[in-house]
Amino acid sequence: MVARIAFRPLLRVLNEARENESWAELKLLLTDRLFVAREIQTKDHNPLPPILFQMATAYAAKLGIADLLEGSPQSSVALAASTRSDARSLYRLLRALSSVGILSQVGEDRFALSRAGNGLRSNVPGSLRAIAITIGEIHYRACGELLHSVQTGSPAFNQAFGTNLFDYLQQNTEAAGAFNQGMTNLDSLLAHAVLLAYDFSEITSIVDVGGGEGKLLMKILELYPEMSGIVFDLPVGLTDRARCDAERCSYVAGNFFDSVPQRADAYLLSGVLHDWSDDLAVVILNNCRKAMAKNGRVLIIEMIVPETNSPSFSKLLDLNMMIMTGGRERTKSEFHALLDAAGFRITRIIPTMAPQSIIEAVPQ
């Protein structure tokens, strides 16, 4: 599917960027985050094996290498002193990351930050540092139990950690902090793509179901001042809240398997349904359908797996969901079947500039 930019939302985004001086952020997100993967993939040299690439990037992120290189190139010796690392071993890590474009090697033993590696800095819009750390620390260990998932159909994470992902995060504050920050940063990336593709002007009230800190909803409300919204999540997910206009936005704690806030025009499910099996996803969708106002809709933001035998990151993410939660990425026909089972019909599927699409559905 071809990514879409709708004309009226584009004007809103550009006008908002001009008024609140966020144009630099928008430009950075669109050029350095959504498209930078192409730059890495088109390099002439052979990349690291994927699991080593993830681990190398994760531990460079944890050591704060990108932050240390923000000002100017440094030697591995200087970086080792700053990070309390072994200089020779760190040099080998930095050299490997330079070979895949995350860093640039300047001379024999000096390293600089590349455009691709800039996203690992802590203080840039849409920082990827937290999610890189999460992937390296909990995803990697769970991936080691992939065979368990293949043979049993159960999440490998549970086998590796002795509990499910969400209970583990409630019990481990450091891991939860990195995970939640990573999700929030990804939401800030995704928000621009969603706002460029979808016109929210007919919606006056919206619930961000499983919305975490509420970053995506905040971006929507900034662009549509006539709209009000609710961020709905488990209490632990609402610990670190984004800045919220109290008159237009509120945080409500609850469990979407039990119920969701009532009588909104739209229910936003961004990266929620892929965490769950079809049976549990239907429960969430049913609760949204029962709660929504007349003429309400759900807006599902997810990747769509191609039904053809074509390369797609969504197929690898599908394995990740099988490993981590027992959830799945879905094809277009699988989304139609899922929503039909929950009493919805899909009205349109809108590709965005991000890997995700927006699936709009209304009650049958």
Q: Which residues are catalytic?
A: 274
Q: Which amino acid is at 162?
A: G
Rounded Cα–Cα distance for residues 194 and 318 (Å): 21
Please give, one letter per residue, the 3-state secondary structure of the chain.
CCCCCCHHHHHHHHHHHHHCCCHHHHHHHHHHCCCHHHHHHCCCCCCCCHHHHHHHHHHHHHHCHHHHCCCCCECHHHHHHHHCCCHHHHHHHHHHHHHCCCEEECCCCCEEECCHHHHHCCCCCCCCHHHHHHHHHHHHHHHCCHHHHHHHCCCHHHHHHCCCHHHHHHHCHHHHHHHHHHHHHHHHHHHHHHHHHCCCCCCCEEEEECCCCCHHHHHHHHHCCCCEEEEEECHHHHCCCCCCCCCCEEEEECCCCCCCCCCCCEEEEECCHHHCCHHHHHHHHHHHHHHCCCCCEEEEEECEECCCCCCCHHHHHHHHHHHHCCCCCEEHHHHHHHHHHCCEEEEEEEECCCCCEEEEEEEC
Q: Which amino acid is at 48?
A: L
Residue 66's contacts (CB-CB under 8 Å, 6 or more residues apart) are: 60, 113, 117, 118, 119, 120, 121, 122, 129
